[in-house]
Amino acid sequence: MEIILIKDVENLGYANTLVNVKPGYARNYLIPQGFAIVANKENKDSLMEQIREQEARLAKMTAEAQELAGKIEAATLRIAAKAGTSGKIFGSVTFVQIANALKEGFGLEVDKKKIKMPEEVKMLGKYNAIITLMKDVRATATFEVYNDDPNAVVADEVVDQTEAAAENTEETAE
C-alpha cells in the first residue's frame, strides 16, 4: 500500500515522502497514529505542491545566504583583546567573540558551533574563520585581533619607533 508520511518514522522514512508498506501496518498503526495518510491522487498532488514550495523557499534562502557570504568575505571584522608587549594576547579569541563581531557588523546571529577556526588565535594579527551559514553555503571571514589598550606599545612598534629615532639622530648628526 502506498502512503505519504506526515512525520519522520524511524526505519521507514522522513516526512513528506511516498513509501510502500504492508496494508495492515498502514491501516492499523501509521494512519491512526497520525504518522501517514493514504497516497491517493489528491494527497499526491498536495505533496508535490508542498515540495515545490519548499524547494522555492530553500532556493531563496540559499541565494540570500550566498549574498551574505559575499559580504562577510569582503569585510574584515575587528576583535579587541588585551595583549602584552610581545603581541601575545591574554587568553585567546573564542568562537563567541567572532559570533558577537558578526552580530555587530552584519546583524547576523550565528551559532558558535557553526564557526571553525583552522588555528588557535593567541597573537595580535589577521586570521580567518570558516562560518557555515547553511548546509551548502560557507563563508571565510577575515578578522583582525587588535590591542584594545590605546597606550600599549607592541614589540614590533617599539622596534619601528627605535629605528625611526635612530634614523632621525643620524640625519641630525650629519
Q: Report the candidate in 134, 105, 131, 135 with the shortest Cα–Cα distance to residue 118.
A: 131
Angle at 152 between CA 150 and CA 155, to 5 degrees: 135
Residue 87 shares a structural domain with residue 47: no
Residue 128 lies in a domain: yes
Burial 119-130 (b: 16+ CB within 10 A, else e): eebbbbeebebe
What's at 172, amino acid-wise?
Answer: T
Q: What percent of the chain has pLDDT over 90?
A: 41
> pLDDT at position 153, please?
53
Residue 71 lies in a domain: no
> pLDDT at position 87, please?
85
Query: In this model, does residue 75 exceed pLDDT 90?
Result: no
Residue with the bigger pLDDT between 112 and 40: it is: 40
* Model confidence pLDDT, tens digit, residues 112-122: 888 998 888 88
Residue 102 shares a structural domain with residue 48: no
Cα 7 from chain centroid? 28
Residue 94 shares a structural domain with residue 157: yes
Domain total of the chain: 2
Domain finish residue from 48, 66, 84? 66
Residue 104 lies in a domain: yes
> pLDDT at position 37, please?
94
What span, in angstroms and rounded, lies between the C-alpha atoms of 151 and 149? 6
Mean of pLDDT over the chain: 84
The pLDDT of 6-20, averaged and rounded, is 91
The residue range of the domain holding 123 is: 76-173
Q: Give me the CATH number covering residue 86.
A: 3.10.430.100
Query: In this model, does residue 4 exceed pLDDT 50?
Result: yes
What is the pTM (predicted TM-score) of this model? 0.62
Residue 113 shares a structural domain with residue 162: yes
Give all strands of the β-sheet with 36-38 in edge-to-edge order: 18-20, 2-5, 36-38
